[in-house]
Chains A and B, each alone.
Chain A
Amino acid sequence: MAVEMTMPILVVDDYKTMVRIIRNLLTQIGFENVDEASDGTEAFEKMKKQKYGLVISDWNMEPMTGYELLQRVRADETTKSVPFIMVTAESKTENVIAAKKAGVNNYIVKPFNAGTLKAKMAAVIGDF
């Protein structure tokens, strides 16, 4: 099934510049319907109100981290199937294992480029 390019994507990061970078990369790839949240709490509230086709989240945020957001998303019946990509500078093996066990769909280590983002998105939601 072809990926719907108008599907809403939620970008979660406490650094506005990183949100802006990801938004620009998504726009270049062809995804224009991008929403933003600055931490896990705000992201989860938005996810409860709207169904997103993909969540791209940072790990290290306050008060709710991306890891906690992932756990909460997977534990909630209405959000548990939303594809989730972690984009983070947390690059220890324990982080990747923890994210995998929590149900992450893919994991991108910062700094990253447009090619990596596109490849990981395609691996999660299908080719576009």
Chain B
Amino acid sequence: MPAPEVAARVRESLANLKAKDLKDGQVMEVLALAQQLTDTMQLFFGSLDKSIHQEFVYIADYIARTRTEISKLRPNDIKEQRIPTAGAELEAVVTDTERATETIMLEAETLLGTRPDDVAAYKAQVDEAMMRIIEACSFQDLSGQRVSKVVESLRHVEKRVSRFAATMGVHDAEADEDEIAEADRKKKLHLNGPAIGGPEVKQDMVDEMIASDLDQNAIDALFD
């Protein structure tokens, strides 16, 4: 039963008791107190009902907005199209690269193992090998196009996820235990991977470091 209705009933009961013309002063005081209490409770529960109603309206709006934003994220498109296609493109790049590398290595190894006794025949063999190497290098054009498609898909996903996070006011949660453990392991073993744009420390710098005593002063000097 809603709070206002309960309060109305209590008030009605109190009015009925008062109408019976009770003579006991203490009973009348109790009734007056109960009347005050009922009025106070009605105000309290009335405001509570209104507040809860507003909360539910807000939550309903939030859920509706979340659903709209998730649909704009197009998660099924990302899951069923974008990511699988990007994965397949990258696998194709790896396969094409391996095939080209195999061809180039094989041609180079064959030539390295050939004795140039007959110069004319050797020249013809080298020419043919060079042509096969040049043909094998054509994989780079396809790989470039495939990688561009993957980059485009990643940008597409990044754009949608960023928009979703910004609209919903999402903040990153803590990484889970496995991710933290993997990050710690990589840090401990210095697994940084290749640097973008070439080595961070060039070979001549490495040579200096290897040749140095590597005390702290020597290390500091490398960064001066």
Contact between chains at A92 and B206 (CB < 8 Å):
no
**A90 beta carbon closer than 8 Å to chain B:** yes
Residue in A27, A68, A96 whose CB lies within 8 Å of B206 = A96
The residues of A with any CB-CB pair to B shorter than 8 Å are: 17, 20-21, 24, 27-28, 59-60, 65, 67-68, 89-98, 100-101, 104, 106-110, 112, 116
Chain A nearest CB from B14 CB (Å) reads 80
Contact between chains at B105 and A96 (CB < 8 Å):
no
Contact between chains at A107 and B206 (CB < 8 Å):
yes
**B195 beta carbon closer than 8 Å to chain A:** yes
**B191 beta carbon closer than 8 Å to chain A:** yes
Which residues of the other chain, B, contact A24 by a CB distance below 8 angstroms?
105, 108-109, 112
Contact between chains at B195 and A91 (CB < 8 Å):
yes
Contact between chains at A17 and B101 (CB < 8 Å):
yes
Contact between chains at B206 and A97 (CB < 8 Å):
no
Which residues of the other chain, A, contact B192 by a CB distance below 8 angstroms?
90, 92, 94-95
A109 to B200, CA, bound (A): 10
Contact between chains at B112 and A60 (CB < 8 Å):
no
Write 13 A-B pairs (CB below 8 A) sorted by A numbering: A21-B105, A65-B191, A89-B193, A91-B199, A91-B200, A93-B209, A93-B222, A96-B201, A96-B206, A101-B214, A108-B206, A109-B199, A109-B202
A57 to B105, CA, bound (A): 21
Closest B residue to A93 by CB, please name it: B201
A77 to B25, CA, bound (A): 103
Which residues of the other chain, B, contact A112 by a CB distance below 8 angstroms?
203
Of all A-B residue pairs in the complex, the 7 with the closest CB atoms, nearest first, are: A91-B199, A89-B194, A109-B199, A91-B200, A96-B209, A95-B190, A91-B201
Residue in B98, B112, B194, B219 whose CB lies within 8 Å of A91 = B194
Closest B residue to A98 by CB, please name it: B190
Chain B nearest CB from A109 CB (Å) reads 5
A48 to B101, CA, bound (A): 33
Chain B nearest CB from A88 CB (Å) reads 9
A108 with B203: in contact, given A93-B209, A95-B192, A100-B209 (CB under 8 Å)?
yes
A17 to B194, CA, bound (A): 17
Residue in B195, B202, B203, B214 whose CB lies within 8 Å of A97 = B214
- For the complex with contacts A17-B98, A97-B219, 11 further pairs of A-B residues with Cβ separation under 8 Å are A17-B105, A20-B105, A67-B190, A91-B194, A91-B199, A91-B206, A93-B200, A93-B201, A104-B210, A108-B203, A109-B201
Chain B nearest CB from A89 CB (Å) reads 4
Chain B nearest CB from A21 CB (Å) reads 8
Residue in A17, A92, A96 whose CB lies within 8 Å of B195 = A92
Residue in A20, A27, A92, A104 whose CB lies within 8 Å of B200 = A92
**B189 beta carbon closer than 8 Å to chain A:** yes
Closest A residue to B223 by CB, please name it: A93
A53 to B24, CA, bound (A): 113
Closest A residue to B105 by CB, please name it: A20
A92 to B190, CA, bound (A): 9
Chain B nearest CB from A43 CB (Å) reads 16
Which residues of the other chain, A, contact B105 by a CB distance below 8 angstroms?
17, 20-21, 24
Indicate the member of A20, A109, A116 with the most B CB atoms within 10 Å.
Answer: A109
